[in-house]
Amino acid sequence: MLTTSPTSLHFTRTSHRVPTMAPPLTFISFLCLCSIFVAKTLSFSSDQTPKTFIFRVDSHSKPSVFPTHYHWYSSEFAEAPQILHTYDTVFHGFSAVLSPDQVASVSRHPSVLAVFEDKRRQLHTTRSPQFLGLRNQRGLWSESDYGSDVIVGVFDTGIWPERRSFSDLNLGPIPSRWKGTCEAGVRFTAKNCNRKLIGARFFAKGHEAAGNIGGPVSGVNNTVEFRSPRDADGHGTHTASTAAGRYAFEASMAGYASGIAKGVAPKARLAVYKVCWKDSGCFDSDILAAFDAAVNDGVDVISISIGGGDGISSPYYLDPIAIGAYGAASKGVFVSSSAGNDGPNGMSVTNVAPWMTSVGAGTIDRNFPAVIVLGNGRKLSGVSLYAGAPLKGKMYPLVYPGKSGMLPASLCMESSLDPNLVKGKIVICDRGSSPRVAKGMVVKKAGGVGMILANGISHGEGLVGDAHLLPACAVGSDEGNAVKAYVSSTSNATATIDFHGTVIGIKPAPIVASFSGRGPNTLNPEILKPDLIAPGVNILAAWTDAVGPTGLDTDTRKTEFNILSGTSMACPHVSGAAALLKSAHPDWSPAAIRSALMTTASTVDNRNQPMTDEATGKPSTAYDLGAGHINLDRAMDPGLVYDISNNDYVNFLCSIGYGPKVIQVITRTPVRCPAKRPLSENLNYPSMAVLFSTTTKGRPSKMFIRTVTNVGVPNSVYRVSVEAPKGITVVVKPAKLVFTEAVKKRSFVVTVSADSRNLVLGDSGAAFGSLSWTDGKHVVRSPIVVTEVTPL
């Protein structure tokens, strides 16, 4: 059940909790139509510390006396040295370092439409292409020529260009439409680019300004970073090679996941935009500048595994990622974004703008098992990527520091362990509060010989592999409780850990990763998010030489490839998939590509059973996996697509109460809303979410209008089939769609009615069904979500 007001107007973790009942959820959409925005409504204190602000300016107001917008901005709004970026492609305006009084003054200028403070965001941290249904010499890989000549822009921590994944061997010339550059800097020159890595830029002005004005970072730290596109963190190299890495034979991470590493679109071209800096996050002003540059450069796809840090989605007009993504999508660029890692909490999905594709994470059919053998003979299953000297079956004393009741010790925080207690022993550490691999370093420093990393109830049974620096194994909540109970039951507890390498063919797979961001959409619950899921657990991809596989400063190991988990890893799978589809269908819009991916997605696992949720073990819902797990063989030929134009998005913004001036912040150009306010649920989205008021008695109903475009055989007949939740009636008119050479588009009306007495809402407060069109070959499926809204 949702609670909302009919007139009411994002990588910091939130607590992870598995809901046990349907909670009342509250949605607040921030329309604030009376003010533009932030600075015009801020009451500033006496603190005049300068900060970075982003200003949205009506570009049409520029006096003709100024040759460029920069000249105008530096004459009327701010001194030239204060201006960091000017934006003129996806966004019109500038960012500058100003005092609160200066911001208040500038915000009163009639040409200033919006002002918002620069925010720091965070990253959402080889079998997967085959697991997506891609095979050599057939299907989407061959039909798209492996994504050849499509340009994928990756917004991340940069790239380590020497990796084999970025070789340009046998690639043709750089596409003539490319207008980008290879920006030189520390340990990076134009020669680091090639016919594969065709462009590289870095954006540090917002990041450096935050440090120069006493913010949370101190500029580019030259001892751990490169002031260039070179990757000091590893995350960017990993995501870029996941999306579009070339074939790399004999790939592995210290022997784990050995085989051929390759990206989803191996022949696609890469353009890297470094907007995130090691240990320092990513600033909105720099991200917006990257959007501006990437669209000007000529990218076809943007992959952005970045999200907010407060667990709340900002309204679109105050969200530079949403604004930049709109500018990109309006010019035909597909934007793939990560859904966030704050699952399994409900309403934890991020990057929810309807013009972005929000990607959650699922597992693949590969695992890295490790087994804990207790002194009483019991064996407990877990996972590990430890590659050092094995314990060889030797039993060691087992200890749980948390037995004392001290939280820091239970979490194995820095300096929390007593060497007298843990020396020569295997130590049980609770997950949370500090990086998983860092706990192992704490144990090792204190003299421990091994670690068992135990999930709490908030993490459930969700496990990811880590390249630990000492023998260590991660276990789920149930096994964690079992090993702690064993320690409590005896004064002479012992254990050992056996590492079993790589196992493929795991069933069931995929399952929804416990950490994957979940719906419903907090801004507009009538738009289902996430859109879909993709492989995001234990993904092998290229890595930087600047840090070891754990990313810890103390980890001196070098590895060409690393194994990571997160929606950060799922997002570039969809970016690569979009590149393949764009190559096979150059005339498809970003919305058509998303529709093809969503309507062909799978909701069953490799046992042909409904996909399960790792957090609960129960069947997953559309709030967990959106339309399902991408299936690229089917996506190449979806039959029908739900397309969306720029004008459709404008009508959607009108429908949620945004006025023309507010919408112009997003769209760049002035707009007019229809005299009759549109209905937000009529946005031509490939999924349908129905919100009924709890105050409506009898049989409430809602109508949806959708239009599909035939992209398959011209003369086709599609018939509808519906899976309706209990207590819900779904009627589709017409129930048959006939397409010809001349008629490529057909509209239909969906009427969803509820029987309040028999409506059954599940644990998430919603009921789930689907609507499918089929012509005997294609199945074009859309999820349906029904929930109740309590007006405030």
Separation of alpha carbons 153 and 175, rounded Å: 14
Separation of alpha carbons 434 and 443, rounded Å: 13
Q: Which two tokens stand for residue 353?
A: 């703008």
Separation of alpha carbons 508 and 461, rounded Å: 14
Cα 779 to the chain's mean position, in Å?
Answer: 27
Phi-psi region of 262 (alpha: psi -120 to 50; beta: other; left: phi over 0): beta
**Can you name the residues that pair with 499 across neighbouring β-strands?**
370
Separation of alpha carbons 422 and 441, rounded Å: 13
Q: Which two tokens stand for residue 326?
A: 């709109």
694 CB-side CA count, 13 A: 15
- Confirm if 460 and 17 have CB atoms less than 8 A apart: no
- Confirm if 340 and 348 have CB atoms less than 8 A apart: yes
Which amino acid is located at 623 in the chain?
Answer: Y
Strands 426-430 and 539-542: unpaired
Which helix or strand (DSSP H or E) is residue 562 part of? strand 561-564
Going edge to edge, which strands form the sheet with 120-123? 276-277, 281-283, 120-123, 306-307
Using alpha carbons, list the distances in angstroms from residue 487 to 375, 440, 676. 10, 19, 68
**Can you name the residues that pair with 750 across neighbouring β-strands?**
704, 732
The closest of 513, 532, 637, 648 to 580, measured between CA atoms, is: 637
Length of the chain: 792
Residue position matching structure tokens 């459709």: 648
In angstroms, what is the C-alpha Rg of the chain? 26
SS3 37: coil
Q: Which two tokens stand for residue 445?
A: 């420093």
Residue position matching structure tokens 């012992």: 494
Separation of alpha carbons 662 and 670, rounded Å: 10
Sign (positive/negative) of CA torsion 624, 627, 629, 630? Answer: negative
Which amino acids are annotated catalytic?
156, 235, 568
**What does 242-274 look like in DSSP terms, one character per residue?**
HHHPPPEEEEEETTEEEEEE--SSTTSEEEEEE
Q: What sections of 182-308 are H helices per DSSP?
A: 205-212, 235-244, 284-297
**What does 399-418 look like in DSSP terms, one character per residue?**
E-GGGGS-HHHHTT-TT-S-
Q: Which two tokens stand for residue 505?
A: 């063919």
The DSSP output letter for 182 is B
